[in-house]
Structure formats: structure tokens, C-alpha cells
Homo-oligomer: A and B are copies of this chain.
Amino acid sequence: MATYDPLKRALKKEGLRYTQQRQSVWDELCATNDHRDAEEIYLAIRQSGLNVSRATVYRTIDVLVKNKMVRKLELGDGRARYEHKINATHHDHLICIQCGKIEEFMDEVIESRQDEIVKKFGYKLVRHIHQLFIICSECESP
């Protein structure tokens, strides 16, 4: 047990118990850098031989999102997608509306313009969503 164990730290902070199921959800989310939905996480865990329910997957993801270990993406297709935030810096997404591929981008100019816009209104920026829906090169010229 490492001294820096983000899952155990978060669970302790929330007054929650450490369980195999919660560990498996976190492990599976960290296993790739993809942007997967809850069902994909659920199936991947079961594929690996571990038992977990959909309800627990959803409940655990909520804890991880609340503790900023996981980011939730709503891409407008009715299913939320998730990505772990281990070693990740802030970025936004390009989504191919043809094949579903997701790429990441980050633009300092846009980030600071956002702050200025919000400041001009006299508001306080909490978070933002910036998604560029595109046709990727492979879908454009197959």
C-alpha cells in the first residue's frame, strides 16, 4: 500500500470504505487513456474476471468525479463518457461526428479569453465545456 494512494485517500476523505469493487472501477478507468462510457467500464471489469454491478460502477464513478480523479464528458449522444485525470493537464476535445474518434486540444488564448469574458460579466467561472465537432481526415477522404 503506497503512501500516495489516491483512491484510499479519496475514500477516507469522504468517509467511505475501501472495497474491491471500488478498486476495480478505479483500476479499469486507469487502464487506458480512452473516453469510455459506464457500460464499457462495467464490461471490461467483468471481462477481467472480477464481479461488480452496474449500480456500483455508477456509484464509484460519482465518487471519483467528485474527487477530481475522473472527468465526465457529455458528448451529446446520451451516454456520459469518462477519462482518468492521472498526470493529465486540462484539455478540451475534438469529436468526429462520423466515426466517433476523440482528440484533445488545449489553447492558452482561448482559456484566457474565457476568463476575460466571465470577468466582464462580473461572474465567477466554475468550469467550462468546449467541444469541436469535426469530420476527421480519414472520414473525409477514406
The answer to whether A129 and B97 touch across the interface, beta carbons within 8 angstroms, is no
A 123-137 contacts with B by CB, 8 A: 123-137
Q: Which residue of B lies closest to A117 (CB)?
A: B105
Interface size class on chain A is 20 to 34
Q: Contacts A122-B137, A140-B124; is A117 near B129 (CB within 8 Å)?
A: no
**CB-defined contacts of A129 to chain B, threshold 8 Å:** 76, 129-131, 133
Q: Which residue of B lies closest to A112 (CB)?
A: B109
The answer to whether A103 and B130 touch across the interface, beta carbons within 8 angstroms, is no
The answer to whether A134 and B140 touch across the interface, beta carbons within 8 angstroms, is no
A4 in the interface (beta carbon within 8 A): no
Q: Which of B124, B133, B134 is A134 in contact with, Cβ under 8 Å?
A: B124
A 89-142 contacts with B by CB, 8 A: 94, 96-97, 103, 105, 107, 109-110, 113-114, 117-118, 121-137, 140
5 contacts across the A-B interface (CB closer than 8 A):
A94-B118, A97-B126, A105-B117, A123-B134, A124-B134
